[in-house]
């Protein structure tokens, strides 16, 4: 999220210092190469050459900056509580170079209260007063990787400051980079907005994933049910089942809210239930693959299985929290002989073993089962799926294909 935002500010004519602790990423940028799909090499090189974008690992440049945007990861610990160590580390570096007039905006998704409870006290240690000597706000990133329509500039930017003056300063900054700024009454409200957006998706995906399991018991095609339901022009929004949730937002962000509510002795029941359902989907997928192989008088153990698509969503290279990793891990633990195909992921580590992407041009006839997990647009299903003897389709991509009778298809 940091690089696309930096490029938008730089395109607007601002002078941007892009700070990262990864020397590899900084060297890539200095060489005019982008490391995210949504920013082109050409765009990076143009901004580097013009001097509007200066990548660096040196935090001291903050001393000369008028504003700092914090765009660091906020994962979950294994105990499922928030890990804000990256925010704290960035905060400590900023505090070393605090100066009068500096605007600090946190973009990293976190629990409501982080800006005021974690950032504000540390920054106030400088002796500067918020809203007068320095300015502090929260503005959640809304980047949707791989989206060809919605980008940083045309997606409305929500922001809330610790004081009205903070909100005003932050809005003035972001109007350079986005077409529409939506201000709210506080940083806490802005933090909650992002969590609502992703909790809404997580819960609805959890609901439709459970519906898929219900339909399986009832011998009903869940994809047909959804296609018919979405013809209703009001009161219904289609969501689709899948092998689980992936990425760094939807599986994680709602649990930040759930964790925060536990400090008030309140259980976020919808969030916890949706998380449980979504987390169970890889096991459901593997169970159905097992059933499909059993009908062919085979078991998972010793079967050659090809997983098609391992990124967490279509048309991106990110494998963080990808359900494909969980599916492959479960299959490997049961003795499957695994291969995978993904044009965006040339190498992949599974249970300590590094696999290289399989070239689909070699055909799929040798595999006992082809499992479709991530439906990249780059896949030409018509060219390779007819050669499969057994397909497990977790994304309904086979619905519009004409496959030979020799090909057995199981759907989620």
- Could you list the active site residues? 249
Count CA atoms within 13 Å of residue 341 on its CB side: 22
pLDDT score at 175: 96
Q: How far apart are CA 251 and CA 314, in angstroms?
A: 16
For CATH 3.40.50.720, list the domain ranges present in the chain.
2-193, 281-411
Is 2-193 a domain of CATH 3.40.50.720? yes
For residue range 86-136, what is the model confidence (pLDDT) as tens digits? 999 999 999 999 999 999 999 999 999 999 999 999 999 999 999 999 999
Give the global pTM.
0.90
pLDDT score at 170: 98
Q: Which two tokens stand for residue 343?
A: 């044009």
Q: Which residues pair with 138 in a beta bridge?
A: 106, 160
Alpha-carbon distance values, 347 to 241, 316, 352 (Å): 27, 14, 13
Q: Which CATH class is domain 197-274?
A: mainly alpha
Q: What is the DSSP secondary structure assignment for residue 109, as one 8-state letter?
A: -
Instruction: Provide the pLDDT confidence category of residue 140 given band limits of 50, 70 and 90.
Output: very high
Q: Which two tokens stand for residue 257?
A: 């809210």
For CATH 1.10.1040.10, list the domain ranges present in the chain.
197-274
Neighbouring residues of 389: CB distance < 8 A, sequence distance ≥ 6: 296, 365, 367, 368, 406, 407, 408
pLDDT score at 77: 84
For residue range 19-63, what is the model confidence (pLDDT) as tens digits? 999 999 999 999 999 998 889 999 999 999 999 999 999 999 999
Per-residue pLDDT at 80 exceeds 90: no
- Architecture of the 281-411 domain: 3-Layer(aba) Sandwich (3.40)
Helix (H) or strand (E) holding 304: strand 304-308
Q: How far apart are CA 285 and CA 242, in angstroms?
A: 9
Q: How far apart are CA 176 and CA 109, in angstroms?
A: 22
Question: 292, 390 in Cβ contact below 8 A?
Answer: yes
């Amino acid at each position: 999220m940091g690089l696309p935002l930096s490029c938008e500010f730089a395109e607007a004519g601002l002078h941007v210092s892009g700070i990262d602790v990864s020397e590899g990423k900084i060297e890539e940028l200095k060489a005019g190469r982008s490391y995210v799909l949504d920013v082109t090499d050409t765009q990076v090189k143009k901004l580097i050459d013009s001097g509007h974008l200066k990548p660096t690992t040196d935090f001291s440049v903050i001393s000369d900056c008028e504003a700092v945007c914090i765009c660091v990861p906020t994962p979950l610990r294994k105990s499922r509580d928030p890990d804000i160590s990256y925010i704290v580390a960035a905060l400590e570096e900023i505090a070393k170079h605090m100066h009068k007039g500096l605007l600090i905006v946190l973009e990293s998704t976190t629990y409501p209260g982080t800006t005021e409870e974690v950032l504000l006290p540390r920054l106030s240690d400088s002796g500067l007063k918020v809203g007068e000597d320095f300015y502090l706000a929260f503005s959640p990133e809304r980047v949707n990787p791989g989206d060809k329509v919605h980008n940083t500039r045309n997606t409305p930017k929500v922001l809330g400051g610790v004081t009205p003056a903070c909100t005003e300063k932050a809005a003035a900054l972001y109007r350079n980079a986005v077409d529409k700024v939506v201000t709210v009454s506080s940083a806490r409200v802005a933090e909650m907005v992002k969590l609502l957006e992703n909790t809404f998706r997580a819960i609805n995906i959890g609901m439709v994933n459970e519906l898929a399991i219900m339909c399986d018991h009832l011998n009903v095609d869940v994809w047909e049910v959804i296609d018919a339901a979405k013809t209703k022009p009001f009161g219904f929004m289609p969501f689709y089942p899948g092998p689980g949730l992936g990425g760094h937002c939807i599986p994680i962000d709602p649990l930040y809210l759930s964790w925060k509510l536990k400090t008030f002795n309140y259980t976020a029941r919808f969030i916890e239930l949706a998380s449980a359902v979504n987390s169970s989907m890889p096991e459901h997928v593997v169970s159905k693959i097992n059933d499909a192989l059993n009908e062919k008088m085979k078991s998972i153990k010793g079967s050659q299985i090809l997983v098609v698509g391992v990124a967490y969503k279509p048309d991106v290279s990110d494998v963080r929290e990808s359900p494909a990793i969980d599916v492959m891990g479960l299959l490997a633990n049961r003795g499957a002989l695994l291969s995978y195909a993904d044009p965006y992921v040339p190498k992949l580590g599974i249970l300590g073993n590094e696999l290289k992407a399989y070239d689909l041009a070699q055909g799929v006839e040798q595999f006992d089962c082809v499992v479709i997990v991530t439906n990249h647009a780059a896949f030409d299903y018509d060219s390779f799926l007819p050669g499969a003897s057994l397909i497990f389709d977790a994304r309904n991509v086979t619905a519009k294909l004409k496959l030979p009778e020799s090909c057995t298809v199981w759907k989620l």
